[in-house]
Structure formats: structure tokens, C-alpha cells
Chain A
Amino acid sequence: QVQLVESGGGLVKPGGSLRLSCAASGFTFSDYYMSWIRQAPGKGLEWVSYISSSGSTIYYADSVKGRFTISRDNAKNSLYLQMNSLRAEDTAVYYCARGLQSLPFFDYWGQGTLVTVSS
């Protein structure tokens, strides 16, 4: 069965960095576009970033552009999100999610990893 398992979250000071990972299994990872989506505590969903199956096409939300970098390693069935210059407003649960039909809507989501940015 399809599984997405995020890791790498934690507490970090403003201005700090963190790298999130998402381990995929149960499907041919290299065939699917992937995204990161976040949810601040008690708030709604916010799409963060998107990467095509080969990694050749990438998009970012304006709120993270220039600070976050999405990448993938198809040989390791893994998705990553490098987060630099973190701000308090980046505090959220971060989900990785699989895109369906090569479009940015999402049929499988991981359980999420909490990132807290606080001094």
C-alpha cells in the first residue's frame, strides 16, 4: 500500500535551517509529481512547493520562494524540503503528498512532521 513518511521536523530558532524528508513506498515514486503542503496550528492548508517526477519542473509558494528548496532522489524513493532562514510564521505541520494525474491535487498524504520556529 502507498505510504509516505515524513521526518526531520523539530524546534529551530528564527533564522535557522531544517531539512525535511519524505520516504515513499508502495508505488513507483519516479512516476509521480510530489508536493509539500503545510498547516499552521489551528489553521487551514497552504501549498508550499511542487516537483515534477523527474525533478525538472519546480514551483514554490511566494511565501517560501528563495528560502526553501524542494528536491527528490528517485533512486532512494525520497522527497526533501530544505528550509533556510526560517521565520515564526513557518511554524506548521508539513505534509508531503502525491500528485494525481501529474496535477497538483493530492491522493495520498503523509502523517506530517511538525516544525516549530521559536526562540
Chain B
Amino acid sequence: AIWMTQSPSLLSASTGDRVTISCRMSQGISSYLAWYQQKPGKAPELLIYAASTLQSGVPSRFSGSGSGTDFTLTISCLQSEDFATYYCQQYYSFPPTFGGGTKVEIK
């Protein structure tokens, strides 16, 4: 299985901040990476796939970059509704695996 290291696990930020979350793979996965947002008590929602393709309806302040083993999710200007937990997920090979999550909390 491909292991993923997502960092940081906790990120304290203020509205308007630019935040970045990293995901590192144990082996190269080309661009087969997705990012999800999950709010408490809710199902995850797809934000980005193919490392940098924004899912329909997702605000443009979200962006993804990277390929191979190192990937980044950036929120350019944090809004109140963005305080949530974010997960990366590789789908290059089975089993698909998720990162441990990054909780973005209000500073």
C-alpha cells in the first residue's frame, strides 16, 4: 500500500489568511491525488482531483498543486466556512488511501 504523510495535523489560522496543507507519498503517484473537505457530522466533499483540477462548484480560492510524491492544497483567502478538516487521497493504486487529515481551526 502507498503511505501518505499529511501535514500539519492541526493548523490555526485567521479569516483572510493564506494556508497550505501538504501531502507526501511513500512512492510516486503521478497526479492521482484528490483533496476533500469534511465538516463535523457531515460526509466529506470533493474539492480537487487529478492534483489540481477544481471540482465543479468549489470556490476558486482553493487550489492544488504537485505531482509524483509531493502535493499541496492552498486556500488563498480563508473564509469562515473553510474551518474544517481536510484529507488528501491517492487513487494511483489499490488500496486507495487517505492522509491522516488536517484540522483547520480558528486562531
Q: Which of A62, A103, A111 has the most CB of B within 10 A?
A: A103
**Are A104 and B94 closer than 8 Å at their CB atoms?**
yes
Cα–Cα, bound, A45→B96 (Å): 11
Per-position contact with B for A44-68: 1 when CB-CB < 8 Å, else 0? 1111001000000001011000000
Nearest A residue to B94 by beta-carbon distance? A59
**Are A105 and B98 closer than 8 Å at their CB atoms?**
no
**Are B43 and A105 closer than 8 Å at their CB atoms?**
no
For A100, what are the chain B residues with a Cβ–Cβ distance below 8 Å?
46, 49
Q: How far is the CB of A88 from chain B (nearest CB, A)?
A: 21
Interface size on B, as a range, is 20 to 34
**Are A105 and B94 closer than 8 Å at their CB atoms?**
no
Partner of A105, one of B38, B45, B49, B101: B49
Q: How far is the CB of A99 from chain B (nearest CB, A)?
A: 9
Question: Given A44-B87, A44-B100, A44-B101, A107 and B95 touching (CB < 8 A)?
Answer: no
**Are A104 and B96 closer than 8 Å at their CB atoms?**
yes
**Are B98 and A62 closer than 8 Å at their CB atoms?**
no
**Are B43 and A47 closer than 8 Å at their CB atoms?**
no
**Are B45 and A50 closer than 8 Å at their CB atoms?**
no
Q: A44-B87, A44-B100 are in contact. List 5 more A-B contacts (CB 8 A).
A: A44-B98, A104-B96, A107-B46, A107-B55, A111-B43
The 8 A-B pairs with the shortest beta carbon distances in the complex, nearest first, are A109-B43, A105-B34, A45-B98, A104-B96, A105-B91, A104-B91, A47-B96, A44-B101
